[in-house]
Structure 1
Amino acid sequence: MQIRAWHLSMGLILLGSCATPPAPPPAEPVPQTLPPPSQSAPGMNAGSTATNKQLPPGKPGSLLSRVDRTRLTAQIRETPRPINIRHRCAFRDETGYNGSTQVEIANSEVRVLNTQINIPDHGSCNFDWNGFQQTKRSPSIELRHPADGCTVRIWEQGRQLTISYSQCARRCASAETFKYVWPVLIDSVNGACD
């Protein structure tokens, strides 16, 4: 009899531990205070237009309604800092892929860009600045050649400058050669390129 009562009580305890607790009451929405339009958010330049952009209002209880809009606005940057670099380097990897790059950019305006890439058993590619037109300055630089559509994109990420090429098969020994072209990476601190 005692064993049966013990089993019954253990079964009830086990069943009770599986029960779902009642749902908590809904959280009170936190009121958001925005700076007046005439003031800029902390950390922003007075001339910045980022404070003029408004986030869409969030539904009560949604994640967007709980965003600290003042802090978020302070973190938004309209434009990244301009790219400034003057560099010449050569690179070679263990497969024999090699090349050289000369680049000069002042205030995100390209003044010189010459890249020569040699791909073993496939030929070479030459990306000479002559004839390219700069079509973008921010957030990345974009150059386009009107005759063949070759596009060069340049951007900075941390201490690394990346120069990539697309639709530039005519600048190589053959269209097949361009399939082996990788972006050129330049380390702005130690000057190495890859």
Structure 2
Amino acid sequence: MSSRITLPAMLLATLLCAACTPPMLADRAKPMQGPTAPKPYPPAPETRSTPIPARAIDMAGDCKRTEEDGFREEAMMRVSHNDVKTLSWKLWVSKRGSCEFNLSEFKQTQQTPHIELVALDGSGCKLMVWQDPRRVTLAHARCEKHCTAGIYEQAWPVLFDPRSGNCADIK
């Protein structure tokens, strides 16, 4: 006997479920009128995340890691008093492609509250470096031109342990 559900059976089940919808759920689709109508919610207060406090970054970082899913990264970064001295970062998204960033292709434009480097090619690509208590993060934004087509959305930041300079735990 086949366990496949036929289209007519699915339609019948849908109609039966719709007929059994509790009235209060069915009424939600209709706007209420008159004095019993609920008052609209007040606008949500503007929420802003607390910025990460500026920290002096002094680090010699070397992170080489290969994940089970094929993601791989090799990043080397030297920072002295929030001034990037050396940066070489390549990451691979499985066997689908890679992204590559080298300091010679960027100009540092900001030191605090986070470090920011802008691509010299005018693409708008930015590299950002900041430190929280557990790690130093090297991230990118609008850097599709530095990556193989179609993989940019899977290109994650690299995380360094601020004490050892090795790859930081992701957890």
Query: Could you state the TM-score of these two structures normalised by the residue count of structure 1?
Result: 0.56
Residue 180 of structure 1 pairs with residue 154 of structure 2: yes
- Deviations along 1:42-74, one digit per CA (max 9) or x if unpaired, are xxxxxxxxxxxxxxxxxxxxxxxxxxxxxxxxx
Counterpart residue type for residue 90 of structure 2: Q
Equivalent residue letter for 1:137:
Q
Between the two proteins, the alignment pairs up a number of residues equal to: 115
Distance (Å, rounded) in 2 between the aligned partners of 1:94 and 1:189: 25
Q: Is the 8 A contact 1:100 1:116 kept in 2?
A: yes
Residue 163 of structure 2 corresponds to residue 189 of structure 1: yes
1:117 lines up with 2:91 in the alignment: yes
Say what the alpha-carbon RMSD is for the aligned residues. Answer: 1.5
**Does residue 1:131 correspond to 2:94, yes or no?**
no
* Cα distance in structure 1, aligned partners of 2:54 and 2:130: 10
Equivalent-residue separation in structure 2 for 1:184 and 1:157 (angstroms): 14
**Which residue matches 2:126?**
151
Q: Which protein has greater RCO, CA pairs closer than 8 Å, 6+ apart?
A: 2
Q: How many Å separate the matches in 2 of 1:191 and 1:143?
A: 20
The answer for unaligned runs of 5 or more in structure 1 is 1-78
Q: Aligned residue for 2:55?
A: 81
Shift of 1:94: 1.2
Query: Which range moved further: 97-106 or 113-122?
Result: 113-122
Q: Which residue of 1 aligns with 2:135?
A: 160
> Sequence identity, in percent?
28
Secondary structure of residue in 2 paired with 1:130: helix
CA drift of 1:192 comes to: 3.3
CA distance in 1, matches of 2:126, 2:54: 21
